Amino acid sequence: MTKYAVFAHFSGDATPLQKEMMGEWLKDRRNVELYFEWLDEWEKMHLQFQPDTAEALAKISEKLQDPADAEVVLPVVPTLHFWKRRGFLWAAACLFLVGIGAFMGRDILTYGRYETAFGEQSKFLLADGTEVVLNANSRLKVPRWGFGKSTRHVYLEGEAEFSVRHTVDHQYFKVHNADNSLITVLGTEFVVYTRAKQTSVVLNKGKVELSSPGSEQALTMSPGDRATIETSGEIVVEKLSKQQLAQHSAWKEHRFVFDDTPLREVAVKIHELFGVEVKIKDKGLAARTATGSFPAKNAEELLTIMSYMYNFEIQKTDDKVILIPNP
């Protein structure tokens, strides 16, 4: 194993073959010490959090000398050397910082978050120049330190369109999805949908590699492909027409495009994006299919338009909307 391969493992960029080789390499105990030497070197190069130890030490020292705590009698050991006392204070400062980190949560310190509420969209640039459009009720988690330099890993829950900036060092951009699938790209444009229902990827430009825990091999997608990850983990790919391809970005224009979509699925979509629970009491109405492009910025606009086209009434309660077919 080379240092480069081991550093790729630390960064999360190791291939399955490199991971297997790593396991075999570490079976030799002579390599374990070298492994931790390289780990120490890599961590010094990719610091995630730099505590102000001098300030922490000063606060601890001030606290120990505070007259308000005079009633607390500390045992005096005459033979205690200065370096030991200093070691005690350093240990106390470290425990103090560890306590703060545990209280706040390591995840909060390590990652920044972009979030959208129900019915909201957000467009922003990441530190590496990648453009992201986040759809409603979605979350993107991005490393606070080293992004675009030592790492380009992001974590998505919901739906987003990525326009990935190619870097001079050809560094991979990786999207980790809610179902633990992974998208690996160099520079491209694609839309990701990853919610409880399923995960799907639509590729507009470039090339991406999609892998899933339930699939033995990673799949390389071409422009115009839509890949859907089934509940079994299997990846299913289909080629889309230009019109179908455009439909998957219609949400950026506040348009909903349906193609023989049952109203029960429309109800699920409304709940995902607007947080409105839609109940359809009639089975025939729930199975009725919708086709067309519907401009709407909220659930009420969408349902009102569709009620005229598909002949149903809307009843509102405190916590849900009920669809009833007209007689």
pLDDT along the chain (327 residues), means of 10: 76 76 81 79 65 70 61 45 48 52 58 91 92 95 87 94 89 91 89 90 92 85 92 88 87 91 94 93 92 92 92 88 90
Characterize the bridge pairing of strands 153-163 and 131-134.
Answer: antiparallel
CA atoms 146, 150, 152, 154: torsion sign: negative
CA distance 93 to 103: 15
Q: What is the pLDDT of residue 226?
A: 94
CA distance 218 to 36: 30
289 contacts: CB under 8 Å, gap ≥ 6: 258, 260, 261, 262, 263
Q: Which of 325, 327, 296 is nearest to 312 (CA)?
A: 325
CA atoms 30, 47, 160, 186: torsion sign: negative
The answer to whether residues 124 and 114 touch, using CB atoms and an 8 Å cutoff, is: yes
* Residue that is written with structure tokens 């297997």 in the block: 20
The answer to whether residues 217 and 242 touch, using CB atoms and an 8 Å cutoff, is: no
Burial tier of 126 (Cβ tally within 10 Å: 0-12, 13-18, 19+): buried
pTM exceeding 0.75 = no
Q: Which of 187, 136, 185 is nearest to 157 (CA)?
A: 136
Q: What is the pLDDT of residue 99?
A: 52
CA distance 102 to 92: 15
Q: Which of 157, 162, 163, 191 is nearest to 176 (CA)?
A: 157
Q: What is the pLDDT of residue 74?
A: 46
Q: What is the pLDDT of residue 264?
A: 94
Q: Which of 179, 184, 174, 172 is nearest to 212 (CA)?
A: 179
The answer to whether residues 161 and 191 touch, using CB atoms and an 8 Å cutoff, is: yes
Q: What is the pLDDT of residue 166?
A: 87
Six token digits for residue 276: 């409105």
Q: Which of 159, 236, 142, 227 is nearest to 195 (CA)?
A: 159
CB atoms within 10 A of CB 74: 7
Q: Which of 294, 295, 231, 227 is nearest to 259 (CA)?
A: 294
CA angle 322, 324, 327 (to 5 degrees): 165
CA distance 97 to 56: 8
